[in-house]
Amino acid sequence: MTMEVLGCDGGKQEGKFLVTMRLGDRVLLDAGSAASLSNEEQKAVEKVLISHAHLDHVHELGFLADTRLSQTDASLEVYGSRAAISIIREHYMNDLLWPDFSRIVMDGTPAMIYREFVDYDWLELGDGLAIMPVPVNHGAGGRGFLIRSKTACIAYSGDTGPTEDIWRLAAEQENLALVVVEVSFPDGMESTALASDHLTPSLLATEMKKLDRDVPIYAFHLKPWFRHEIVRDLSRHFIDRAVLLLRGERIEF
Ligand SMILES: [Zn+2]
Ligand SMILES: [Zn+2]
């Protein structure tokens, strides 16, 4: 399985792309930059798994739905926690700010179908791909994921402050290959990170002690304006074990 990084930044400015990962051709993890895909690639997407309903993670969900509507009869399945789905329905695709695509029905098929996660359960997505949603310490219905292919497993933190379950469950996966984890702020802004339920490199070091597995760390969701400080602090704590995730990168697992 391939995880392709379409966007991995924690803020929007020139050359930066909000969080979206593509698993194979048919599944997206978050939709911050979903519309950066070509028309044909957007048509091929069947499922979008939303980590949480903050704007930087759902921003282009509505544009993806719009692109697909006139070009394919297939429904777009949108998965999320109950809280995340209700926020999207009430505050985004509510027929006010943007159409409610779940109520647009063509030939008996709704353009969009919402599906609620079952936490701590593996959700089979085809081609040997499965994900397990795990509640994390973040607002808007935040979930991290274990992502399993036929051969390996990735732990994906989503947005989170210090948390427990995702690391405990990741440690139980014998074939854990790597972790993808958010690091939004530099060490000097720990109080801001904690107040907004995010991590710094120093807080990440504590999280990785909970995991207690010597696997590569891919950091993402950096606030672009603090990038240099975050990179400096990451290398102080992790030397070369932690690397930055980059747009266009393809992780095979
Ligand atoms: Zn968030
Ligand atoms: Zn975010």
Name the closest ligand to CA 30: 2
Q: Tell me the CA–centroid distance for residue 229 and ligand 1, in Å.
A: 21
Ligand in nearest proximity to the CA of 182: 2
Residue 220 has pLDDT above 90, yes or no: yes
The amino acid at 55: L
Contact 34, 45 (CB under 8 A): yes
Tens-place pLDDT, residues 42-66: 999 999 999 999 999 999 999 999 9
Q: Is residue 106 over pLDDT 90?
A: no
User: What is the distance in A from the centroid of ligand 1 to the CA of 135?
Assistant: 13
- Hey, what are 205's tokens? 């070091």
Nearest-ligand number for the alpha carbon of 221: 2
Cα 37 to middle of ligand 1, angstroms: 22
pLDDT averaged over the chain? 97
pLDDT tens digits, 14-27: 999 999 999 999 99
Tell how far the Cα of 68 is from the centroid of ligand 1, in angstroms: 26
Q: Which protein residues have their CB within 5 A of the ion that is ligand 1?
A: 54, 159
Ligand nearest to the CA of 142: 1
How much distance in Å is there from the Cα of 22 to the middle of ligand 2?
Answer: 17
Higher-pLDDT residue of 120 and 106 is 120
Ligand nearest to the CA of 223: 2
CA-wise closest residue to 166 among 199, 202, 196, 124: 199
The pLDDT value recorded for residue 8 is 98
Percent of the chain with pLDDT over 70: 100
Q: Report the separation in Å between the CA atom of 92 and the middle of ligand 1, taken as the mean of its atom positions.
A: 16
The tens digit of pLDDT for each residue in 156-192 reads 999 999 999 999 999 999 999 999 999 999 999 999 9
pLDDT at 38 over 90: yes
pTM of the model: 0.96
Centre of ligand 1 from the C-alpha of residue 57, in Å? 7
CA of 73 to the centre of ligand 2 (A): 31
* pLDDT at residue 209, as a whole number: 97
Domains present along the chain, CATH in parentheses:
2-252 (3.60.15.10)
Distance CA 227, CA 235 (A): 12
Residues having C-beta closer than 5 Å to ion ligand 2: 56, 159
Determine the pLDDT at residue 70.
Answer: 84
Q: pLDDT-based confidence at 197, cuts 50/70/90?
A: very high
Question: Which residues contact residue 76 at a Cβ distance below 8 angstroms, ignoring those fewer than 6 apart?
Answer: 45, 46, 47, 48, 64, 65, 68, 101, 111, 112, 113
pLDDT, one tens digit per residue, over 198-207 is 999 999 999 9
Evaluate if residue 99 carries a pLDDT over 90.
Answer: yes
Q: How far is the CA of 161 from the centre of ligand 1 (A)?
A: 10
pLDDT, position 107: 85
pLDDT at 82 over 90: yes
Q: Which residues fall within 8 angstroms of residue 223, CB to CB, at 6 or more apart?
A: 10, 11, 184, 185, 230
> Of the bound ligands, which one is closest to the alpha carbon of residue 140?
1
